[in-house]
Chain A
Amino acid sequence: MSGIFNLLLLQNTLRTATPVVLCALGCLMTERAGFMNIGVEGMMLMGAFFAVLGSYLYGSWVMGLVFAIVLGVLLGLFYYVFSITFKSDEFVIGVALNILAGGLTVFLLRTLFGVKGSFSDPGIVPLPTLHFTWLEQIPVLGTLVSGNTLLVYISWLLVFLCWLLLYKTPLGFHLRASGEAPEALRASGVNPDRMKMLASVLCGILASLSGAHLSLGYLTMFSENMSASRGFVAVACVIFGGGNPPRVFLAALLFGFIDALGIRLQRYIPSDITSMAPYVVTVVMMVVVVLMKRRKKKIRQGEER
């Protein structure tokens, strides 16, 4: 058992959860602003590709991140213009974005790099791994916290910053109001559409960065469809977490845990089953959350009678 449940498992959990965390934070922003973005899957995929592109072309992971961030801004604006300004169905735009991402990345893979399936090259510079030597003294926590790549730490910071933004700053209030009561916000002189645009751009950036973590984080490559439905899992996490950053973070960690566990168990259980597990667990979790909410409501009603 100790072969499976050890520190390495927890480390893998953190690393596998990170793209979901980043993406979920982005989804959280748009969800709070009143619109759900299922196109994050496509945004993640495109972010992964463009991060590799930037890193490869300029031989620098910084450029990789820059490419991803710029892409994220553009995607966020694009999604905003179509969903809000042109009032399209968010679902349709999201799905179309995913299709576009799939098509575009494969097209560029073949046209720019001339390969099929995946692109891996020593010219791609991965994200740096950060070691905190002073932390490594601490027995368990030390090895966990130190030695992860950049975006993992940024993702933790962002969870905190998102929480701070939404609950402690006027800008965050405006963002929440733009989703919950846009007319109230408008009558107060703040344009809710501008808030939604901000949320969309933040979502684009975060989803794109989550892709960058996938392709430049530990693996240093881009492969077709490497997002593997993680964007949708992120959406599910936002639903579990009720739009609350710390809770969403925990949900994403849970997913990471199941995923990492699955990889560990591949020695004993067929790989297809272990790959399937996180998705099934996520669905079960969604059902459990709904059931728990119902029970809570019934108890509260029973008490009031």
Chain B
Amino acid sequence: MADSSPIVRFDHVSVRYPGALANDDVSLAIRRGEAFALVGENGAGKTTLMNVLYGLTRPTLGTVTIKGEAISARHDPMRAMAMGVGMVHQHFKLVPSFTVAQNIALGSEPVKNLVFYDHKKINSEVLALGKRFGLPVNPDDIVDDLSVGLQQRVEILKALHRGADILVLDEPTAVLSPGESDELFEVLRGIVLKQGMTVILITHKLHEVMQFSDRVGVMKQGRLEGIVNTAETDEHKLAAMMVGREVLFDELRTGRPTDREVLQLKDLRAQDDRGLPAVKGIDLTVHAGEIVGVCGVEGNGQTELTECIMGMRPQTGGEVYLSGQNISRLSPRQIRARGVSYIPADRMRTGLSAEATVMENLLVGKQRQKEFSRFGIQFRKRRANAYARELSEVFDIRAGGIDIPMKSLSGGNMQKAVIAREFSFDTPVLIINQPTRGVDIGAIEFIHEKILQKRAAGCAILLVSADLDELFRLSDRLVTLFEGQLTGQFQNGAIGKQEISYYMTGGRQEVQA
């Protein structure tokens, strides 16, 4: 199966950025024809290492050898591709308005008559390529109109078109449903076995590693912790290597929800940014002292749902009730006044102002309160500063002061700031979307504690997350969202992660009474 001469070798590679050591003396050899998985938590350095291979990042120290040839000091994607490395990125590098063929050909377009794009030639090449690897696509489709799964296919074909025989995939299943993921792995297996290519998979999902790879390399905080044969390990051991302690299986910490219905959604409907229906009739109730977790692969209407409830997106149908009051067509301002706070999924775009100071970010929403505004005219800076410092301490926000711009904080601290602000409104309802995305493990624990505290205080919490572990850890009830509709509702403890995946992907649907 795999031959023993290394096709890619990293020798004492270090990548240093100002203030951070992304890769610390990593030495690794990848064999020709193997399926190699590189695992680690967010920020462990997996993507950085592969970026070095692909020429997107220059190593501070160390050398990389591809097929026996060392990479030059001027290594870039062009050269990497020439050496046979193809990379499929987590965030697709596609041009939305171009066709599939144009995207696949980008940078190496065939020309006729010296100047013009040879449309016919590339189309036939794309069709042939699709057939050879089992990834059929229509060359004239506009990429923007394609589903995420198909877009990924185009990404892969792009790499293959350049003659890659070393394929690197960076978190490919982050945006796929379990069914699509299985399909992908089948194709990759075929590529490895039948075509003799090498596949390097970057992931933090351990079950994928077990399912797909021959060997696993574990990275932790920039260092390579170790390499093991997949057959000789299991998820527990890998998790232990990744984090240094067992975090996989936590005890369920359910609360005691009351009977009081606080948030009610009745046949809620909304569209996405393109005008296509994204939320297609959702009925849901959240009680005081309860956490309802919404499980679903990203892109099934979660963000549209939460934005809709919060008044940030117009509803096209249905109603939202807050303790009996209809808050359906109100603005965010009015909804907040009635007792709802929202932690958005995209903190940089929606939840914070990068340029404003920490204090200003924390005070938004309170600036008109009597405590901070004299007669609604003068802004009481001193009091605001004191409050901001207090809040920072309570929520463990580590910043160099409260008057520095928000953007100089780390991701975890920024997220804590958003949470600090939203939680400090002490509203009866909390809508939380991806509370711990891009946050380091210490901060995750902290944030989870805070959420549980809110539940204990009697809040009604709607929790949306792409992380099943998080949902299972915190929720009292779980609902599954697929293509804008709820496909199932379960008490936590009554269903397992594997089974709930089927509901998340429309494979199964619970018959609603």
Cβ contact of B95, chosen from A170, A180, A301, cutoff 8 A: A180
- Does B98 interact with chain A (Cβ within 8 Å)? yes
Contacts of A300 in B (CB 8 A): 275
Q: Is the interface of B mostly helix, strand, loop or mixed?
A: loop
- A173 adjacent to B93 (CB under 8 Å): no
- Cβ–Cβ contact A187 & B77, under 8 A: yes
**A168 CB within 8 Å of chain B:** yes
Task: Contacts A189-B76, A189-B77, A189-B78 given; indicate if A173 touches B116 (C-beta within 8 A).
Answer: no
Question: Does any Cβ of B come within 8 Å of A159's Cβ?
Answer: no
- Kindly name the residue among A174, A177, A189, A304 whose own CB sees the greatest number of chain B CB atoms within 10 A: A189
Contact of B446 with A by CB under 8 A: no
Q: Which residues of B contact A73 (CB under 8 A)?
A: none
For the complex, is B115 an interface residue (Cβ under 8 Å from A)?
yes
Are A180 and B77 in contact, with the CB atoms below 8 A? no
Q: A190 CA to B116 CA in the complex, in Å?
A: 18
> B73 near A: Cβ within 8 Å?
no
Residues 188 to 215 of chain A near chain B (Cβ within 8 Å):
188-190
Q: Which residues of A contact B275 (CB under 8 A)?
A: 297, 300-301, 304
Q: Which residues of B contact A133 (CB under 8 A)?
A: none
Chain A residue contacts of B276, Cβ below 8 A: 304
Tell yes or no: A141 within 8 A of B by CB: no
- Does the CB pair A184–B117 fall under 8 Å? no
Q: What residues of B have a CB within 8 angstroms of the CB of A188 in the complex?
A: 77, 93, 106-108, 158
The answer to whether A189 and B107 touch across the interface, beta carbons within 8 angstroms, is yes
A-B contact count (CB 8 A): 72
Which bucket holds chain B's interface residue count?
20 to 34
B281 CB to closest chain A CB (Å) equals 13
Query: Does B102 touch A at the CB level, under 8 Å?
Result: yes
Task: Report how many residues on chain A are interfacial, defined by Cβ distance under 8 Å.
Answer: 22
* A176 neighbours in B (Cβ, 8 Å): 95, 97-98
Chain A positions within 8 Å of B93 at CB level: 181, 183-184, 186-188
Q: Are A173 and B106 in contact (CB under 8 A)?
A: yes
* Max chain B Cβ within 10 angstroms of own Cβ: one of A176, A177, A305: A177
List 29 A-B residue pairs with CB atoms under 8 Å apart, sorted by A's residue number: A168-B117, A169-B111, A169-B116, A169-B117, A170-B105, A170-B117, A173-B98, A173-B102, A176-B95, A176-B97, A176-B98, A181-B95, A183-B91, A184-B94, A184-B95, A184-B106, A185-B95, A185-B106, A187-B77, A187-B87, A188-B77, A188-B93, A188-B107, A189-B78, A189-B81, A189-B108, A304-B275, A305-B277, A305-B316
Not counting A169-B117, A190-B106, A305-B277, a sample of 15 additional A-B residue pairs whose C-beta atoms are within 8 angstroms of each other reads A169-B111, A169-B116, A173-B98, A173-B106, A173-B117, A176-B95, A177-B95, A181-B95, A181-B96, A183-B91, A185-B95, A186-B56, A189-B77, A297-B275, A304-B276
